[in-house]
Amino acid sequence: MTTQGGGLHARVLDSLGPAITCGAYPPGSVLRTDELAQRFEVSRSVIREAVRVLESMHLVESRRRVGVTVRASEEWNLYDPQVIRWRLAGTDRSRQLRSLTVLRSAVEPVAAGLTARRATAEQCARLTEAALGMVATSRGQQLEAYLVHDVAFHRIVLSASGNEMFARLGDVVAEILTGRTEHQVMFLDPDPPAVTLHVQVAEAVRMRDEARAEALTREITVGALHELDILAP
């Protein structure tokens, strides 16, 4: 019974979330529990559970005698991985990717410099392993396999920085990289210079060269923005 309820609740979320974030329900729209339950052919308790999740993301708010009201986009939790996923699935994907990539360019270079200073030997080894994994899967249109190593690399850079705020952005960056792959905003094979830069960052971190790690990571993020100019103008 619990599994079934979870499945129904997920189905409602998978419909309402993208509809809200793509603007099908503009800010101020009122969603009524009874109408939603009838539309999705589920109980009102399932709708209430889905609404609680949407409220936690600040997408909607419940008002007595009014219903469930869609909030302005400025109030949404834009760092929620699920919200990012829904927005990247919408028609405004190019702008979202650019906004998120600019965020990366502001954070990741600094994080890489800190990682060069603070990373443990084990973290350095995992960073090198991820970079080499990227090299190994960068040919032959292995984008899904490449993505695994790419996500791992950037998570390590953020977490090994020792800054808990940067570390919390690991899920955000993972969604950016995943969204680019899933929505074909990637070359069929990753750009060779970009792959090489990741290997060089891992080496700079291992050598404790903070300035070089930061500069190389900035090159990676600038290159990602240039790719968007070509693939998602």
- State pLDDT tens for residues 99-132: 999 999 999 999 999 999 999 999 999 999 999 9
Residue 68's beta-bridge partner residues?
31, 62
Cβ contacts of 76 within 8 Å, gap of 6 or more: 21, 57, 58, 59, 83
pLDDT, position 5 = 41
Domain residue extents for the chain = 2-75, 81-231
pLDDT, position 1 = 28
**pLDDT reading at 4 higher than 50:** no
Rounded to two decimals, the pTM is 0.88
Token code pair at residue 39: 């539309």
Q: Which of 214, 120, 220, 107 is nearest to 167 (CA)?
A: 107
**pLDDT reading at 182 higher than 60:** yes
Q: In the chain, pLDDT over 90 holds for what percent of residues?
A: 88
- For 128-168, what is each residue's pLDDT tens digit? 999 999 999 999 999 999 999 999 999 999 999 999 999 99
* 70 backbone dihedrals φ, ψ, rounded to 5°: -75, 130
Split at pLDDT 50, 70, 90, the class of 187 is: very high
Cα 49 from Cα 63, distance rounded (Å): 15
**pLDDT reading at 6 higher than 80:** no
**pLDDT reading at 79 higher than 50:** yes
**pLDDT reading at 2 higher than 50:** no
pLDDT, position 8 = 86
**pLDDT reading at 27 higher than 80:** yes
Region 13-20: what's the mean pLDDT? 95
Token code pair at residue 6: 């979870």
Region 27-48: what's the mean pLDDT? 92
Cα 100 from Cα 183, distance rounded (Å): 15
Domain 81-231 has CATH 3.30.70.260: no
Domain 2-75 has CATH 1.10.10.10: yes
pLDDT, position 7 = 82
- For 213-228, what is each residue's pLDDT tens digit? 999 999 999 999 999 9
Other beta carbons within 10 Å of 61: 14
Q: What is the mean pLDDT of the chain?
A: 93
